[in-house]
């Protein structure tokens, strides 16, 4: 007989006065599984996360953590669940307190265990500072330390990198990776940024207009999304009419292909189309070229070095084995 999931979300529904609906949300998460929920702004990610954390009352459905029902705020005096920590994107710290005072207020751990958290979150050197003297990235790491000191078994992260610069984002990404492996804490993250979740998650749920529309591994959803919505959430893509390459139509008359699966050449080949290089963009680790084919379709290609100049005539070759045929549209 199989054991129960660590987290089980069943039939969650929620409506608000603005007409938004979460509709029949179902999913499970295994212990220590890195799970991400991706969706555009307003899709219901944060609402769902707060319901899971016991901070928002659902209209229907249940959340079970290790087979124990998570009660909503209408059912108990203090909202939340003692084994679930929720970290928002707003750096919620009290002003004019030293960091060590802010953390002592919530600490449930021994000094030795707390020191491990301080080191892990890279805030040991910040303990004597006042919270008003911290940068955004430092405030976010202190906020994370604060919720970890409650010794949770489930950590909910609501767009944790959204207000950080690149340097502090990279620091926090390493911290969050270490939390799962070193502290044995299960992490559930919501985000709209593919760069935050693709390298981290083991499983991704796609949410659109309050409904889970797709789920799978990062590789599955990136390489074979069932919709343009999912394809766009997880990265750039090109749209190519099948008639342009003289291919038979399948379920969709449009073909999707990622930029890394298209190539610029100076000579034609079996699956190539003549075009004109319109723009070239430098990203440090790669170049992106925008090439117009058939006078109307812009194709994005990627390469380590610039192969052609702006305004040059080229041929765009497509790796047909990497074509994506979406099952449905937007």
| 93 shares its domain with 199 | yes
| Structural domain for 100, as ranges | 7-231
| 194 shares its domain with 286 | no
Assigned domain for 205 exists: yes
Residue 224 pLDDT exceeds 90: yes
| 221 shares its domain with 259 | no
Number of domains in the chain: 2
| 11 shares its domain with 138 | yes
CATH number at residue 85: 3.40.50.300
Coil/strand/helix, residue 322: helix
Query: Residue 250: its pLDDT value, please?
Result: 60
pTM: 0.90
Token readout for 139 is 């405030």
Residue 330: pLDDT band (50, 70, 90) is very low
Q: How many angstroms separate the CA atoms of 19 and 101, rounded?
A: 42
| 58 shares its domain with 195 | yes
Contact 142, 124 (CB under 8 A): no
| 219 shares its domain with 246 | no
Contact 205, 212 (CB under 8 A): yes
Coil/strand/helix, residue 100: helix
The domain boundary residue, chosen from 214, 231, 248? 231
Residues 45-81 have pLDDT tens digits of 999 999 999 999 999 999 999 999 999 999 998 899 9
Task: Name the more confident of 272 and 244.
Answer: 272
| 226 shares its domain with 245 | no
Contact 241, 255 (CB under 8 A): yes
For the chain, give the percent of residues with pLDDT over 90.
70
Query: Residue 248: its pLDDT value, please?
Result: 64
| 160 shares its domain with 299 | no
| 275 shares its domain with 212 | no
Residues 154-200 have pLDDT tens digits of 999 999 988 788 898 999 999 999 988 889 899 999 998 999 999 99
């Amino acid at each position: 007989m199989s054991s129960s999931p660590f987290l089980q979300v069943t039939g969650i529904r929620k409506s608000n006065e603005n007409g938004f609906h979460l509709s029949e949300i179902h999913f499970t998460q295994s212990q220590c599984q890195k799970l991400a929920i991706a969706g555009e702004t307003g899709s219901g990610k944060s609402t769902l996360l707060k319901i899971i954390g016991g901070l928002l009352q659902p209209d229907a459905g249940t959340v079970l953590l290790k087979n124990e029902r998570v009660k909503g705020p209408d059912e108990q005096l203090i909202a939340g669940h003692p084994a679930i920590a929720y970290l928002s994107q707003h750096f919620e710290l009290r002003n004019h307190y030293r960091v060590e005072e802010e953390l002592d207020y919530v600490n449930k751990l021994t000094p030795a265990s707390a020191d491990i958290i301080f080191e892990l979150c890279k805030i040991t050197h910040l303990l004597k500072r006042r919270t008003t003297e911290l940068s955004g990235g430092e405030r976010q790491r202190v906020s994370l330390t604060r919720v970890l000191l409650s010794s949770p078994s489930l950590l909910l992260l609501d767009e944790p990198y959204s207000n950080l610069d690149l340097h502090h984002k990279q620091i926090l990404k390493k911290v969050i990776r270490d939390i799962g492996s070193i502290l044995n804490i299960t992490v559930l993250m919501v985000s709209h940024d593919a760069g935050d979740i693709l390298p981290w998650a083991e499983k991704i749920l796609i949410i659109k207009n309050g409904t889970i529309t797709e789920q799978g591994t990062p590789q599955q959803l990136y390489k074979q999304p069932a919709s343009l919505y999912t394809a766009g959430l997880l990265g750039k893509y090109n749209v190519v009419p099948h008639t342009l390459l003289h291919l038979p139509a399948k379920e969709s008359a449009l073909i999707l292909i990622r930029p890394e699966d298209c190539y610029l050449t100076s000579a034609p080949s079996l699956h190539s189309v003549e075009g004109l290089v319109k723009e070239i963009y430098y990203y440090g680790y790669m170049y992106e070229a925008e090439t117009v084919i058939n006078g109307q379709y812009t194709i994005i290609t990627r390469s380590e070095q610039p192969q052609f100049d702006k305004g040059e005539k080229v041929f765009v070759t497509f790796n047909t084995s990497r074509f994506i045929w979406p099952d449905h549209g937007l």
